[in-house]
Amino acid sequence: MSYRKLNVNGTEYKYVIGSQYTKIVGLGNFKNSEIGTKINKKINDEYVYVVTPSTVRSAITGKPANKVMYCSQHNVTSTKLIADPYMAEIHNETVMIMNCPECVESLADDI
C-alpha cells in the first residue's frame, strides 16, 4: 500500500484508503461508511462511500467535509456546483447544479 500525505494545520499525516477502511497513521482505522460521503450508488447491494482528502481532513479535525455529489447517469462524482447554463440563458435564473461535465454540456446544447 502506498500512503498519501496530507498537511492539516501544519502537521503532516499519512493515510491510505481501502475498500472498507481508511487508515490514518497515528490515529487508527476508520470505516469508510463513518468518514466518507454516501452516494446514491450500490455495489453488491451496499451503498458506496466516497473518501476524499477533504473527508480524511474532516476525520482528523472533526469539522464537516465538503459534500460529494454523484451523477448516476454519467457515473461522475464532484464536490463543486455550477450555474445551470440553460436556466441562466433561457429563464434568466441562477440555479446551481452538480458540475458533471456531460450534463452541463447537454444543457448548454439545449440552448
51-96 pLDDT per residue, tens: 989 889 988 998 877 777 788 788 888 878 888 888 888 888 888 8
- Where residue 44 falls (left for φ over 0; alpha for ψ -120 to 50; beta otherwise) is left
Does residue 62 sit in helix, strand or coil? coil
Residue-wise pLDDT tens digits, 22-39: 999 999 999 998 888 887
pTM above 0.85, yes or no: no
What would the grid cell of residue 107 be?
444543457
Instruction: pLDDT band for 3, please (50, 70, 90 cuts).
Output: very high
The span from the CA of 48 to the CA of 41, in Å, is 6
The DSSP call for residue 54 is: H
